[in-house]
Amino acid sequence: MNIEPHNWTKSSYSGGGGQCVEWSPASATTTGMVPVRDSKRTHGPVLTVSVRAFAGLVALARSTEL
C-alpha cells in the first residue's frame, strides 16, 4: 500500500515531550486501513492496521493510564 501522501493528524492521546503518534483519517475513510507513525520519524516505518484494529487501540488507550 502506498503510504504517501497523507494528511497526518496527531493523536489527542499522545503525551508531552515529543511522544506523538500520528494517523491518517482520510486514508481510513478511503481504504479502510489506518496508517500510524511516530511523528518524530516522518520518513520512518508506518504501521497499517484495519479500522477495527485501530478502534481497539483507541479503546485501549482510553481505558489505560499511560
Considering the domain boundaries, does residue 58 fall inside one?
yes
38 domain-assigned: yes
- Distance between CA atoms of residues 42 and 37, nearest Å: 7
Residues 2-19, mean pLDDT to the nearest whole number: 67
- Its domain, for residue 32, covers 20-63
Place of cell 516522518: 42
| Cell numbers for 46 | 508506518
Specify the pLDDT at position 53. 96
pLDDT at 24: 92
Q: Name the domain count of the chain.
A: 1
* Cα–Cα separations (whole angstroms), residue 32 to 15, 19, 25, 52: 27, 26, 10, 9
Q: What digits encode the pLDDT tens for the residues 34-44?
A: 999 998 888 88
Q: Does any domain span residue 6?
A: no
How far apart, in Å, are the Cα atoms of 53 and each of 17, 27, 30, 36, 40?
26, 15, 16, 12, 23
Confidence of residue 1 (pLDDT cuts 50, 70, 90): very low
pLDDT at 28: 87
Percent of the chain with pLDDT over 90: 33
